[in-house]
Structure 1
Amino acid sequence: MDSAYRRSYHGAREGLEQVLQHEGGSVDPARVGDQVWSVARLVDGNAVLARTLADPSREGQERAAIAERLLGGKVSDEALHVVKAVVAQRWAGTGDLATALERLSVEAHLVHAHRHERLGQVEDELFRFSRIVQSAPELQAALADRRAPADAKRALVERLLSVKSAPETVRLAAQAAVGVRGSRVERTLAAYLEQAAEVQDQVTAIVTTAVPLSDEQEETLRATLSRQYSRTVHTNVVVDPDVVGGIRVEIGDEVIDGTVSHRLDQARRLMAG
């Protein structure tokens, strides 16, 4: 996120905060999230509308007024307030406008999950779903098919997740499957997971092991990493027998690889040299 986008997004985010704090937090964040997402899709699919709402030659208040004329009565007052806050900002292009609307939709759903004490569950489920997509080429192809109707992709995700998953997980996974700006579902899910970590003011570590960790082992690892990074660390554990033993930890671009397979690879390279 560059500094110009960050400034604009901060201004837009204030609109969402105002809505969600209104009347003691009685507004339903999930409903706001769904409706802001529908506007993101509308903007993404209508180039003329997108250019109008992101037009840098117009003042922010004028763009907000245009949004109100076009969307008033079609979405709730709360969702409209968020959309007006977004279009009132200055964006580098129409893509940034659609992305900002999508991010605020995601944040609204994450707030809803937090209020119902299942934000950690949603983060875990989205991570597991992303791993399923990455390991299933047929599913990946089905979700990446641009000719497939959005409703068909949404229905596919709902069939896969709706039985045991949190409702926010299903909504966000479906959004990622439908996408904006032609983004692949794996990349979109990764962005959603980053947002979930930001909302909780934590970082996420992807931990790869040969065998599942016990609850005690995972808690010890989380505590150790949290002390090391001076922030709360959430762990997503991937079991991969190919690593043989040890663990691999990825936090952002940093990788701590203590797996047996990695050490064997290093030994082979040394011997080959």
Structure 2
Amino acid sequence: MTWERQITIKSPQELEIMRIAGQINAEALQAAHDIARPGVSTADLNAAAEEVLKKYGVYSPFLNYPGPYPYPASTTISVNEELVHGIPNPRRKLREGDIVSVDCGTVYEGFVADSAITFPIGEVSPQVQKLLEVTEAVLYVGIEKLVAGNRVGDVSAAIQQYVESHGLHVTREYTGHGVGRQMHEGPQVPNYGSPGRGMLLRVGMTIALEPMVLIGSPATRVLEDQWTVVSRNGLPTAHFEHTVAITENGPRILTLLKDGSKPGRNGKNQV
């Protein structure tokens, strides 16, 4: 994907707009989650999310996003070994034991919210359950470091250390990023790094933080569709993401549901 490198500082009023965008985005993720079961297609999940966007008269910045060819959907739906950028497909039916990552963006009054969840379809193995739990937990480990005065490397290092302490791996090729009027702004926030390095974090920055975690190896490859990224070893992967504002009172998650809970698992906070 191409990147907009500009860093924008948001006013309190702009953060309120982004919070509304985030609520809508969370609701779209929740809608996709709630219909997911064996026999449902990944295109069905995309359609459920799109219905929410249509209800609010908004759209996803994913649709027609430039790349090898314009991205053809409002969400990315990635199953099992697919790490990110999976294209929704009516022929791809979910099965018992799959894990599904749903990533969506919302543009509301010119501002973007971006978030993702990964969840199981029925029962999964202990190894896969651990993958899900570690990836979700490390998102909040990273969010705790999104504090004015820290540096990007403090966030990146905390994510890497937590994941690797559990015997798993973070992706090297794909990163979190600033978000605002553009879906991809600066700073770029890798899921690995060194404390005290990188850009200084300031009040008013908004970051889409997105740990992507793999089993056995961090190596990935891109499928022939030129979008879908998979683990090179074919093992399952997981991806969680929130858009977060850096405020004078610490990090503020903008992509929660209206009641303050997070999407997925019936919206209940699991961490």
On whether the aligned pair clears a TM of 0.5, the verdict is: no
Q: Larger relative contact order (C-alpha < 8 A, sep ≥ 6)? A: 2
Between Structure 1 and Structure 2, which shows a larger proportion of strand residues? 2
TM-score (structure 1 length as normaliser): 0.31
Q: Which has the larger Rg?
A: 1
TM-score (structure 2 length as normaliser): 0.31
Between Structure 1 and Structure 2, which shows a larger proportion of helix residues? 1
